[in-house]
Amino acid sequence: MKKRAIEGLYAITPDEPHTIALLDKVRQTLQGGAQVLQYRNKPADSVLRLQQAHALRQLTREFGATFIVNDDARLAAQVGADGVHLGGEDGGIAAARALLGEAKIVGVSCYNRAPLAFEAVRQGADYVAFGAFFASAVKPGAVQAEVSMLQAARRELCVPIVAIGGITLQNGAALIAAGADALAVISALWNAPDIEQAARDFSTLFGRTSA
């Protein structure tokens, strides 16, 4: 079974406590052309996370988008997500793979450290993420990643690369040119006056348009 692609606009959900409001926002971004959706809601309890993840799994299926769960491989398995994204303290790739199986996606945050990415790929990661490339309101203290590091990693890695951290319509194109297969966006998407149009504009950076 071929794994789903990690490419294009990679939308990461806001910390929205109201499921109906969350689904409305996500529907807009999927209508705008987001290819990947990551469910991330740090403040939510386990009951709300399960409810929201189930609902988002159904919605992403409707649009044919790839659905990734942040941090929690067990939750990803519970809702039938396409995969999980692991940070530095979210457990190992082998443990996630044991829960999800070989057909699912395991992505790994590698911050500004290319050696972490090489090791993650050696251990079986399906994609890696670097950042923050720019100042981020979501993670103001995040380590800074350099575009030159992205360029060098692109020459060595054979898996998709996701760029994250303060990405906007104005700076995203430079990261794509440097080798990013996907742009992970939070604030510039959900804080936009028109979420669907913002998603469409980000998708256009990759040469894609939505209906």
Report the catalytic residues. 40, 109, 139
List the beta bridge partners of residue 127. 107
Q: How many whole angstroms separate alpha carbon 202 and alpha carbon 102?
A: 31
* HSE, side-chain direction, 13 A CA sphere, residue 65: 29
| Angle subtended at Cα 9 by Cα 44 and Cα 141, rounded to the nearest 5 degrees | 55
Strand bridging mode 8-12 / 36-39: parallel
CB 206 within 8 A of CB 199: no
13: closest CA among 32, 36, 31? 36
Q: How many whole angstroms separate alpha carbon 113 and alpha carbon 138?
A: 20
Query: Which residues, including other chains, have CB under 8 Å from residue 154's CB and lie 6 or more apart?
Result: 161, 178, 179, 180
Question: Is cis: bond before 199, omega within 30 of 0?
Answer: no
